[in-house]
């Protein structure tokens, strides 16, 4: 069964994740705008901006809590169902219901799920840290811009793959419900350790789809954001007041920027940065705001719409290799020396 068929069968999870993300964006944008409009009775611009920032922070906290306690079920459910389809070749009649049931049965509570996920993330990062450190040192110890760029690119590519590797390991945990989850997490890490070079061959697909997604989806979202927001009265008023506030407090702004930058940054560079900010018009600030909204929306759509397909493609290879060549537990001693988190997981498994 190909990856796209599995992706289609689990699309309800994708849709739920998209709707959850969009609801979060609506809250993060709407709450500050509402706060700005309700604070219209005061002439204190600093107070109005402070209220907007406070409203944005409250919105971010609410969205974070919702994603933590509700959104995890959609992501975990999609991983569980996808892993089962890959392993058995059987398409469930109701993938959405079976995925949620699998999450509840395997972990019971959100706390247990995040504890296992956290240990998997840590193990995968520690097992891969050697390659990342080599790439970083290449960039640090050379004056060649080309070599630095190569080292940076290697680090970016590895980091781009790590989140999919963690999902693959979680898929392994779901496939072994009768195994202690901490032991299953370690077994999943063994599969990753044995096959990571082959799994990294998927990086071309990851990077390629990411660039294509940013160009197409990101471009469309910026255009839509510009058409919808650029001439909205509340956004226009907010951007004009921000511009006026910056012009009136340019000296304080320059001091704040100077204090917040490293000593290696010269006063001239600081002054240029402040001048650049001062020269931004209200229309420029609206474009920046629209761009931020587009980037946030793109990140939600990409992570919810495109990433699941990539995850399924990578997981298909990971599980195929792992099931054909089961993890050998004599590897435990070696991995304990490479990862403190692996040793911690074994301890939690009672081994």
SS (H, E, C) 78-97: HHHHHHHHHHHCCCCCCHHH
Q: What does the chain come to in residues?
A: 351
Tell me the residue ranges of DSSP E strands in 53-155.
none
Separation in Å, CA 37 to CA 14, 60, 96:
34, 19, 41
pLDDT of residue 191: 92
Give CA–CA dist 15/22, Å, rounded. 11
DSSP 191-215: HHHHHHHHHGGGHHHHHHHHHHHII
DSSP state, residue 328: P
Q: What is the pLDDT of residue 2?
A: 87
Give me the domain span that covers residue 258: 3-348
Residues 167/79, Cβ–Cβ less than 8 Å? yes
What phi and psi values does residue 218 have, to the nearest 5 degrees?
-60, -45
User: What sign has the CA pseudo-torsion 279, 282, 287, 290?
Assistant: positive
Provide the domain count of the chain.
Answer: 1
Contacts of 332 (CB under 8 A, 6+ apart): 186, 342, 346, 351
Q: What is the pLDDT of residue 182?
A: 93
pLDDT of residue 8: 92
At 347 the pLDDT is: 92
Burial of 185 (0-12, 13-18, 19+ CB in 10 A): buried
CA dist 227 to 38, 202, 243, 275, 278, Å? 25, 37, 21, 29, 25
pLDDT along the chain (351 residues), means of 10: 90 89 85 83 73 87 82 89 93 90 85 90 83 56 59 68 87 92 93 80 75 88 82 71 69 60 56 68 80 86 87 91 87 89 91 69
Q: Are 315 and 83 in contact (CB under 8 A)?
A: yes
């Amino acid at each position: 069964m190909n990856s796209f068929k599995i992706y289609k069968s689990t699309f309800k999870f994708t849709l739920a994740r998209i709707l959850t993300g969009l609801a979060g964006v609506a809250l993060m944008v709407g709450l500050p705008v509402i706060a700005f409009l309700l604070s219209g009775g005061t002439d204190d611009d600093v107070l109005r901006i402070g209220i907007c920032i406070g409203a944005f922070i409250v919105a971010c906290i609410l969205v974070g809590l919702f994603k933590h306690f509700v959104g995890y079920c959609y992501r975990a459910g999609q991983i569980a169902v996808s892993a089962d389809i890959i392993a058995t070749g059987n398409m469930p009649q109701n993938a959405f219901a079976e995925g949620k049931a699998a999450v509840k049965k395997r972990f019971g509570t959100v706390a247990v799920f995040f504890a296992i996920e956290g240990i998997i993330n840590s193990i995968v990062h520690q097992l891969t840290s050697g390659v990342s450190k080599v790439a970083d040192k290449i960039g640090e110890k050379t004056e060649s811009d080309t070599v630095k760029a190569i080292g940076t690119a290697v680090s970016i590519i590895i980091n781009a793959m790590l989140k999919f590797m963690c999902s693959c390991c979680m898929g392994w945990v779901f496939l072994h419900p009768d195994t202690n989850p901490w032991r299953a997490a370690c077994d999943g890490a063994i599969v990753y350790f044995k096959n990571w070079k082959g799994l990294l061959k998927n990086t071309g697909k990851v990077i390629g789809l990411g660039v294509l997604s940013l160009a197409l989806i990101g471009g469309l979202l910026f255009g839509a954001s510009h058409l919808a927001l650029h001439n909205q009265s509340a956004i226009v008023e907010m951007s004009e007041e921000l511009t006026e506030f910056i012009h009136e407090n340019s000296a304080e702004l320059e001091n704040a920027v100077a204090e917040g930058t490293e000593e290696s940054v010269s006063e001239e560079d600081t002054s240029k940065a402040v001048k650049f900010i001062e020269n931004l018009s209200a229309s420029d600030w609206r474009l920046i705001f629209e761009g931020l909204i587009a980037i946030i929306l793109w990140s939600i759509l990409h992570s919810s719409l495109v990433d699941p397909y990539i995850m399924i493609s990578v997981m298909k290879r990971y599980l195929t290799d792992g099931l054909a060549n089961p993890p050998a537990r004599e590897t435990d001693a070696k991995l304990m020396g490479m990862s403190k988190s692996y040793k911690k997981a074994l301890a939690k498994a009672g081994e």
